[in-house]
């Protein structure tokens, strides 16, 4: 079998470009969702907030400035084809080098501390949080999401009892969003990971929050759950910035995985309205 060679330097360049793009350009799907939210919002103050958020995206794009000063900790999902050979260095080092170059060149804020207790800044925004999965084929797919912590801090995980079922999931998601209030900068995007183990549920939630707005889970009962949860979240009244309103979330995505007979893990990952997610395939 022939392995396709992908060079370390090409991965560095791609990660750098994705980081620069993600921090300054609001994704099209998020823009469209915000435009729709502004049209649908019942609160006049909420409408003004959404107008300001849209203006911010235009200014950031024109001036090549970060949409938000919290340019985040960079989360990368790398889907590596089994027939790929990476030459010239380690994938993890290529990702970090791309982040390092982008954050310096883009005048982005360095928001990563080396040790969670000692808290000295690494001064180059590395390391990224890299999730690697092996997939079929000879390509490398890179999904890059600079993750701000106003919203990350409002995320939550709970090990429900199987008997709590769908109602337990609904209660937990609504409680998490209500208690978060204005902190995660609503209107938010919500990823819900259900099943697996404790770390699998969290990872599912993170992957879910990066889905394209407008996409639905291919399983009908889960697509239905996504719609029901989104409706419930938007009935909390939290609204844009937590000032009260009808548009609390732009989208809600559910991802699932098989789990143990004794468990029902549920993770809720929240993203702010600056829902940065970009990808490229090498």
Partner 1 sequence: MKRVLTTPLENVEALRAGDEVAISGVIYTARDAAHQRLVKLIAEGKPLPFDPKGAIIYYVGPSPAKPGEAIGSAGPTTSMRMDGLTIPLLQQGIKGMIGKGGRSSVVIEAMKEHGAVYFAAIGGAAALIAQSIKEVEAIAYPDLGAEAVHRMVVEDFPVIVAIDSQGNNLYEQGVAKYRDWRAEGAE
Beta carbon nearer to partner 1, 151 or 217: 151
Rounded-to-integer distance, Cα 109 and Cα 242, Å: 25
Site string for partner 1, 23-62 (x = CB under 8 A): -------------------xx-x--xx--xx-xx--xx--
Q: Which of 99, 245, 251, 265 binds partner 1 (CB under 8 A)?
A: 245
In sequence order, what are the beta bridge partners of 266? 158, 194
How many other C-beta atoms are found inside a 10 Å radius of the C-beta of residue 14? 21
Q: Which of 89, 127, 137, 150 binds partner 1 (CB under 8 A)?
A: 150
Residue written as token pair 């092996």: 134
Output phi, psi for 143, to 5 deg: -110, 125
Rounded-to-integer distance, Cα 259 and Cα 126, Å: 33
In sequence order, what are the beta bridge partners of 16? none
DSSP assignment of 233-280 equals HHTS---GGGSS-S-SEEEEEEEEEEE-TT-EEEEEEEE-SS---EEE
Stretch that binds partner 1, among 75-83, 163-171, 236-244, 249-257 (CB under 8 A): 236-244
170 forms part of the interface with partner 1 (CB under 8 A): no
14 forms part of the interface with partner 1 (CB under 8 A): no
131 forms part of the interface with partner 1 (CB under 8 A): no
DSSP symbol at 187 = S
237 forms part of the interface with partner 1 (CB under 8 A): yes
Least distance to partner 1 from the beta carbon of 63, Å? 7
Binding site for partner 1 (CB under 8 A): 42-43, 45, 48-49, 52-53, 55-56, 59-60, 63, 65-71, 107-110, 121, 150, 153, 181-183, 185, 235-239, 241-246, 272-274
């Amino acid at each position: 079998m022939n392995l396709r060679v992908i060079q370390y330097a090409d991965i560095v360049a791609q990660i750098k470009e994705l980081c620069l793009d993600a921090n300054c350009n609001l994704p099209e799907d998020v823009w469209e969702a915000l435009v729709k939210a502004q049209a649908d919002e019942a609160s006049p103050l909420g409408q003004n907030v959404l107008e300001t958020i849209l203006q911010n995206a235009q200014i950031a794009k024109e001036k090549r400035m970060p949409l938000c000063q919290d340019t985040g900790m960079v989360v990368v999902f790398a889907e590596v084809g089994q027939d790929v050979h990476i030459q010239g260095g380690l994938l993890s080092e290529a990702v970090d080098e791309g982040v390092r170059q982008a954050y310096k060149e883009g005048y982005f804020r360095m928001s990563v501390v080396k040790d969670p207790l000692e808290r000295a800044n690494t001064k180059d925004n590395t390391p990224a949080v890299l999730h690697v999965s092996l997939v079929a084929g000879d390509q490398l797919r890179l999904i890059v999401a600079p993750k701000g912590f106003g919203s990350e801090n409002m995320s939550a995980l709970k090990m429900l009892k199987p008997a709590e079922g769908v109602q337990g999931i609904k209660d937990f998601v609504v409680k998490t969003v209500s208690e978060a209030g204005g902190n995660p900068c609503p209107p938010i995007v919500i990823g819900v990971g259900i099943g697996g183990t404790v770390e699998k549920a969290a990872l599912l939630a993170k992957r879910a929050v990066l889905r394209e707005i407008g996409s639905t889970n291919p399983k009908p009962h889960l697509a239905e759950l996504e719609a029901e949860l989104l409706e419930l979240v938007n009935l909390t009244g939290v609204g844009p910035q937590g000032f009260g309103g009808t548009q609390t979330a732009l989208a809600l995505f559910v991802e699932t995985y098989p789990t143990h007979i004794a468990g029902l893990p549920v993770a809720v990952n929240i993203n702010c309205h600056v829902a940065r997610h970009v990808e490229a395939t090498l």
